[in-house]
Structure 1
C-alpha cells in the first residue's frame, strides 16, 4: 500500500506521527469506451460553451452561479489560500461512545500506521480507546479540505473513518411512516420467528460479487474463443526511545491536569494511577490545440 497522507494524531499534549492508507479499494472490472467499429479509444475534449474552443486544464477554474445568475469564479489559488486549522494534524476534539455515532454518517475508511518512533503512543491510544469503548472525534485536512472523522480500533490497527457533516445526512420524509398501523400479536410473533430462523453471525467472506464474476467469465470466454482484436496504437500525448517514554508520560499527566482544570476538578485525593495495561504488538496524448483563458465551467 502507498501512504496518501502523513501527519500526526494530536490528543492533549501527545503527538503520534502516522501515515494514512486507504483501507478499501474497488475490485470492479475496468472498461474503456471504444469505437465499436475499430476499437479506437473514445476521447472527450474540454471545450468552452461560449466559443466552442478547447480549453487547457490549467486554464479551468471553478464557477459558482448565484440565484441572480451572476458567476463567481474561483481559482486554485483562491481555494489554496483558505485557512485550514488542522494542517498536517489529526486533531482529537473529544472521545464519545461509538454507539452514539450513526453508521449512516460513516464515509471513507483509512488505516493509520505509526512511524517507528511512535509505536508506544500509538499502542497507548489504541488500548485506551478499546478499554473505554469510545471513539475519538477528530478534524483532519485531507486533499486540502477539512473533514470530520472518528478514530476507532479494528484489530491491532487504529482506523480513521471520515464522517459526513450533520447537514449532509438527509432526513426521511415519508408520509406513509406517519400512518397508524395495528400489528396483531400473532403477526409479530410469526415475523420474529422468521427472523430467528435466519439468524446467524455475520461472515462477509461468504458473499461475493456475482455480477463482477459474470463479467470476468464473459471476458475470458471471448478471449478463449478468439473473439479479440489488437488494440489500436494510442497517439503520443494521449530519536531516542527512552526520552520519548518519559516525555509521553509527562505530556499525559499535563493533559489530564488541563482537562480537569477545564471541568473545575482538583487533583487532590486522586487515586494512584493503575498498573500499565499490557499492549498488543503493533503490526505492520498529443491533444488538439488548447485555448488560453478562464472557462466558465462549474
Structure 2
C-alpha cells in the first residue's frame, strides 16, 4: 500500500478494514489523538505506531520510517556507514558520524533519534570506557520509543529493531556493572516478547523477523553464559536448549554453533559425557555446514586437550 503521508495511510487501512475511527483507536489512544494522526496534525510516537500495527495487522513501522526518518540521502548514508563500523567493531570511528547526525533535523525524532543514541551508547562504552554515559544514552534512546520506560520498567514497551537493540545493550551494560540479575530480567523479557510475536504470526512482523530470530538466539546464549558463570548449570542448559529449539522451529543458524558448543562445556562439567559428545558432534556439523573449517579444527583440538573423555566415546557403530 503506497501513501505519501502517514495520516492517509491510516485512513486507507481503516476504511479497508471497515473500521470507524473509534474502532481504530480503542484501548490505544484517545479519539481526538487518533483524528489528529489521520489529519497529519500530530506525529505519532513509535510505541503508538506499534500498537496501531497490531490493530491493523500491517507494518506501519516501515512506513513511519520512510515518511519521518529516511528523508534524505545524507541521513541514510550516515546510518549505513555507522552500521558498517559497528559490524567491524570500529567504535572509535563512530564519533564523526555522531557529530554529523546531531546537526541534522532528521535525527531529532523517531527511529533516527534512537539510532543516534544507540551509536553514542556504543561509542562511550567501547571507545571511551564510560559506562555511565553509555547507560545514559541507552535510556534516552529507549525514551524515543516510549517516554515512560526506565531500566526498572520496560515490559511490553519496546518492539522496534533499534529499540530492541538498545534494550539488549542496556542488559549488557548492566551486566558489566555487576547487575546481572537486572540484565537477566531484561533479556528474559526480550525472549518473552519475541515468543509472543512469533507465535502470533502477524504478517506485518515478517519484515524484521530475521533480526528478531538472531536477537532471540544471542539472548539465550547470553543468559546461558551468565547462568554458567554463577554455577547455575541446569538453568544454563535450559536456556541453551531454549535457543536450540527456537532455531530448529524457525530455521535460524545464527549463533547456534556457539550455543551448542557452550552446552557441550556445561554438560561436560556435569559429567554427562554422552550428551556432551552428542553436542560436540552437532557443533562440528554446524561448522561444516557453515564452511567454517578454522572453527572446526579449533574445536577438534580443544576436545582432545580439554575434554579427553569425549574422544573415547563412540556415538555410532
* TM bracket, shorter-chain basis: under 0.3
If the length of structure 2 is used for normalisation, what is the TM-score? 0.20
Looking at secondary structure, tell me which structure has more strand per residue. 1
- Calculate the TM-score normalised by the size of structure 1: 0.21
Rg: which structure is higher? 1
More helix per residue: 2
